[in-house]
Amino acid sequence: NQVVLPDEYKQTILSTVTAYEHFRTYRKTSGLDQTLTYGTGLVLLLCGASGTGKTMTVNAVAHHLKKRVLLVDFPSLQGKASQDRGYVRFIGECDADLRGLFREADMSNAILFFDECESIFKQREMGGDRLLNALLTEMERYEGIVFLATNRPFDLDEAMHRRITAVFEYKAPDHIQRREIWRVLVSDKLKCCPEIDWEAIALKYELSGGFIKNAILSALLKAIGRNSTDPVINHDDIVTGCALQMRGSLHMKTFDHRVVPTTGLDALIVADAVRATLAEVVQFEKARNVIYGQWNFDFGLTTKYNKKNQKGISVLLIGPSGVGKISAAKAIGFEVGRPLKLVHFAQLQCDSAADTRRALQSTFDDARLMDAVLVLEGFEMFGMDVHGQVDADSPRFRVEAQRLMDMVDTFPGISILVATTASSVTSLDHEFSRRLKFLIEMRPPTASLRTLLWRSFFPPTAPLAPDVDFDKLGMRFELSNDAMSNAVFRAAAMAALRPEATRRITMKDLVNAAELEKKKGRNNEMRDRLFV
């Protein structure tokens, strides 16, 4: 009752393992052991991201069946391959170890648990075919319950799949399930302030059960730091613990073109209307698990690229360079607890339309497998021919635009298109624009926003001179976000090389740096007009 899973998962797993115990008895009394001579073990594969409850499920099943759990330490077997010894001796020792492993599980009435099993069964590495075949043979002979857990099921050797009895996919919990996890983990023995809004915490922070547990431990340590004898966890403790775990969970996923967001919408300095629309994108995505997971909506979108029958959330961010479009995309990723896969359309351009299409599809597939927010920069280059022109009226462009929107519509997550010119929007036909879920225009910051941006670039430890006036900087210089960031870096670099007595960032440093950025911006405009 402490494992938070969909009820159908709980019932299926419990009924399967309970029925298997009766099956073992029936097999012997009915004579089936004469015909079913091998492969009669129960092998269950639990696949899902780290912290979603796979290990807890195994322990709960063992408790229900009154069995022990025998955790397989396969790396110790793999480590023997790296030692300097004869191949025959190595194979003989590994075979003996494997037989002893399954014999121990049988004699002690234990459940065998292969955690992170992709390291064991992937692509016949670390010992070759002989080692993997020996393990698979022992699994077929074993008449007991085996659990496999992995967060990379696509890495499993194909020979493993036919030996698996059932597969259970562990998805990240939705906010309703997260609220229940918080309730289970925050026991009565922990003192918490009644002001903590657990509903808001569960909705805001996209954390799985393992990370929620770590967040509670972090919060408890903060509370103990204030009062070691009678600690009371408050709202700020929980928020701090969640923020630390959000960053940790985002860093766990590695893939090409990965960008790890570090701040959310709260730290994003944009117009209120833009922030509200970005928040709406986040709310749409947070509702996805409830809509498709608990309410079982199916909009008839089954394709070979979208097994989950889920509608995509498509966003077009448009605005001049340096206004914070990528920062907005990062904030969305942070709020939904996912890294970004950031790719420029220029990286996908190939000699032929077919190759370009395959590269684009591969990018969508990678983002789907890694559960990432897909961000495609340079949308104004989409459909560009070898001469650098985009003919929006050509049949080829319309076909490619249709294919792109099909990929976006069937992508089970957030896909963000980023453009810098208005022509990329005006060239779209009505059908393309209609299928976009959100079109967000980001404009250069106003004077008040520029003041906030200037101030946000300085950490508390930065040595600022008393004459620095952020209001004056915001009013005087109409710079983009990137230009202001560059100016701050330039001014800080100048101040850092001064003697210690005068090592401060002054208003003069910032004004000089801003003037250089302003001049650089004018030069860029002249260059753009020249080449246009």
pLDDT band for position 85 (cuts 50, 70, 90): very low
How distant, in Å, are the alpha carbons of 268, 447, 468, 493, 507 from that of 472?
21, 9, 9, 21, 10
| Least confident among 138-147, 357-366, 417-426 | 417-426
- Residue 1, domain member (yes or no): no
pLDDT of 87-99, one tens digit each?
444 445 556 677 7
Last residue of a domain, one of 170, 203, 220: 170
The pLDDT mean for the chain works out to 83
The whole-number average pLDDT for the span 174-196 is 89
Q: Is the pLDDT of residue 407 over 60?
A: yes
Domain annotation covers residue 487: yes
Total of domains in the chain: 4
Residue 263 shares a structural domain with residue 193: no
CATH of the domain at 26: 3.40.50.300
Report CA torsion sign: 363, 367, 372, 373. positive
Same domain? For 436 and 453 the reply is no
Task: Check whether residue 351 and residue 426 sit in a common domain.
Answer: yes
Residue-level pLDDT at 359: 87
Instruction: Specify if 403 maps to a domain.
Output: yes
Considering the domain boundaries, does residue 375 fall inside one? Answer: yes
Do the domain assignments include residue 2? no
Distances in whole angstroms, Cα of residue 489 to Cα of each of 462, 483, 505, 508, 510:
12, 10, 10, 14, 9
Q: Does residue 163 sit in the same domain as residue 231?
A: no
Q: How far apart are CA 61 and CA 44, in angstroms?
A: 12
Inside any domain, residue 237: yes
Q: Are residues 304 and 419 in the same domain?
A: yes
pLDDT score, position 349? 79
- pLDDT tens digits, one per residue of 5-45: 888 888 999 999 989 888 877 777 776 666 666 667 899 99
Residue 518 maps to which CATH number? Answer: 1.10.8.60
295 and 243 housed in the same domain? no
Same structural domain, 189 and 212: yes
Q: 404 and 286 share a domain?
A: yes
Domain range for residue 324?
258-441
Structural domain ending residue among the three candidates 414, 441, 468: 441
Clarify whether residues 327 and 466 are in a common domain: no
Shared-domain flag, residues 310 and 211? no
Tens-place pLDDT, residues 456-512: 999 999 999 999 999 999 999 999 999 999 999 999 999 999 999 999 999 999 999
- Would you state the pLDDT for residue 214? 93
Is the domain of 416 the same as that of 458? no
Q: What pLDDT is recorded for position 160?
A: 72
The mean pLDDT value for 200-207 works out to 89
**Quick one: 387 and 499 in the same domain?**
no
- Of the two residues 414 and 350, the one the predictor is more confident about is 414
In a domain, 49, yes or no: yes
Residue 41 lies in a domain: yes
* 84, pLDDT greater than 70: no
Question: How far from 397 is each of 242, 339, 384, 390, CA to CA, in Å?
Answer: 45, 31, 9, 8
Q: Taking the model in full, what pTM does it have?
A: 0.69
**End-of-domain residue from the set 220, 250, 280:** 250
